[in-house]
Structure 1
Amino acid sequence: MRKIRFPRIGMRILKSSLAVFLCFVVYLFRGEGIPFYSAIAAVLCMQPYVKNSVKVALNRIVGTLIGGGFGMLVLLFERHFIPTEPAILQYLLVSAAIIPLIYITVVFKKNSASYITCVVFLSVTVSHGLDVSPYLFAINRVFDTLIGILIALGINAFHLPRHKNNDILFVTGLGGTLTGASGKLSNYTEVKLNRLLEQGAQIVIATAQSSATVAPLLADVNLRLPIITMNGATLYDPQQKTYLNCKPMSTQVAREILNVFAQKNLNCFVHTIVNDVLHVYYSDLLNAAEEGYYHRTKLLPLRNYICSALPDERDVVYLMAIDRLEVIQQLYGALCALSCANQIHPSYYPDDAFEGYYILEISSAEASKAEAVRDLKQHLLIDRVVSFGDDATDLGLAQLADLSFAVQGAIGPLQKKADFLIGGPESDTVVRTMEKLYHSRNPFDRLNKK
Structure 2
Amino acid sequence: MSKKFKLPKIGMRSIKTFIATILAMVVSNVLGFEAPFYATWTAFLCIQSSIIGSSEMAIKRGIGTVIGGVFSLIYLLFMPENIYAIPFGIVGIIYLCNFLEKSDLISIACVVFLVISFRVNVVQNFDPTTHVIHRLLETFIGIIIAMIVNYHIKPPNPFEKLTGLNEELIDFIKDNIYDNGEFKRIKNLERFRLKMHEFRTVIQFYHKEINSERHNLDIKLYMEHLTLFRSVYSHIFILNSIKEGMNEDIEQYHIRKLIGIKNKLLKEE
TM, length-normalised to structure 1: 0.44
Q: Deviations over 1:213-257 (max 9, x none)?
A: 4224546534735669xxxxxx642xxxx448969xxxxxxxxxx
In the alignment, does 2:147 pair up with 1:153? yes
In the alignment, does 2:244 pair up with 1:317? no
Distance 1:103 1:6 in 2: 47
Q: Contact 1:203–1:225 (CA<8 Å) still a contact in 2?
A: no
Q: Which runs of 4+ in 1 moved over 3 A?
A: 195-198, 201-204, 216-228, 242-247, 308-318
1:19 Cα deviation from its structure 2 partner: 0.9
Aligned residue runs from structure 1 range 181-220, under 5 A: 194-196=158-160, 204-205=166-167, 206-208=170-172, 212-218=193-199
1:271 Cα deviation from its structure 2 partner: 5.5
Distance 1:23 1:143 in 2: 12
Distance 1:5 1:220 in 2: 32
Choose the corresponding residue for 1:100, options 92, 97, 102.
Answer: 92
Find the counterpart in structure 2 of residue 142 from structure 1: 136
**SS class of match (1:8):** coil
Aligned residue runs from structure 1 range 344-363, under 5 A: 363=258
Q: Percent identity?
A: 24
Find the counterpart in structure 2 of residue 127 from structure 1: 119
Choose the corresponding residue for 1:115, options 96, 104, 107.
Answer: 107
Distance 2:253 2:83 in 1: 68
Q: Contact 1:202–1:225 (CA<8 Å) still a contact in 2?
A: no
Higher fraction of strand: 1
Distance 2:165 2:220 in 1: 7
1:106 Cα deviation from its structure 2 partner: 2.5
Distance 1:218 1:57 in 2: 26
Choose the corresponding residue for 2:241, options 281, 293, 297.
Answer: 281
Distance 2:107 2:84 in 1: 20
In the alignment, does 2:36 pair up with 1:72? no
Find the counterpart in structure 2 of residue 322 from structure 1: none
Q: Contact 1:60–1:116 (CA<8 Å) still a contact in 2?
A: yes
> More deviation in 308-317 or 50-59?
308-317
Greater RCO, 1 or 2 (C-alpha within 8 Å, sep 6+) = 2
Q: Which amino acid aligns with 2:106?
A: S
**SS class of match (2:235):** strand
1:119 Cα deviation from its structure 2 partner: 1.0
Q: Contact 1:63–1:116 (CA<8 Å) still a contact in 2?
A: yes
Q: Deviations over 1:142-194 (max 9, x none)?
A: 00010011000001011579xxxxxxxxxxxxxxxxxxxxxxxxxxxxx75x1
Q: Which amino acid aligns with 1:111?
A: S
Choose the corresponding residue for 2:265, options 372, 380, 405.
Answer: 372
In the alignment, does 2:27 pair up with 1:26? yes
Task: Check 1:67–1:134 CA distance in 2 against 1; reply closer, same or farther (3 A cut).
Answer: same
Task: Check 1:271–1:118 CA distance in 2 against 1; reply closer, same or farther (3 A cut).
Answer: closer
1:66 Cα deviation from its structure 2 partner: 0.1
Q: Contact 1:42–1:152 (CA<8 Å) still a contact in 2?
A: yes
1:203 Cα deviation from its structure 2 partner: 8.2
1:24 Cα deviation from its structure 2 partner: 2.1
Considering only aligned residues, what root-mean-square deviation do their CA atoms show, in Å? 3.8
TM, length-normalised to structure 2: 0.70
Aligned pairs, number = 232
Q: Which runs of 5+ in 1 are unaligned?
A: 85-89, 162-190, 229-234, 248-269, 285-307, 319-343, 345-361, 378-384, 386-450
1:208 Cα deviation from its structure 2 partner: 1.9
Q: Contact 1:246–1:317 (CA<8 Å) still a contact in 2?
A: no
1:125 Cα deviation from its structure 2 partner: 1.3
Distance 2:110 2:96 in 1: 11
Q: Deviations over 1:246-286 (max 9, x none)?
A: 69xxxxxxxxxxxxxxxxxxxxxx9538xxxx5452449xx
Find the counterpart in structure 1 of residue 202 from structure 2: 221
Q: Which amino acid aligns with 1:39?
A: T
Q: Which amino acid aligns with 1:60?
A: R
**SS class of match (1:141):** helix
Find the counterpart in structure 2 of residue 63 from structure 1: 64
Q: Contact 1:67–1:119 (CA<8 Å) still a contact in 2?
A: yes
Task: Check 1:49–1:158 CA distance in 2 against 1; reply closer, same or farther (3 A cut).
Answer: same
Distance 1:40 1:47 in 2: 13
Give the greater-gyration-radius structure (CA).
1
Q: Which amino acid aligns with 1:215?
A: M
Q: Which runs of 5+ in 2 are unaligned?
A: 174-188, 207-218
Distance 2:98 2:252 in 1: 48
Distance 2:79 2:248 in 1: 74
1:103 Cα deviation from its structure 2 partner: 2.4
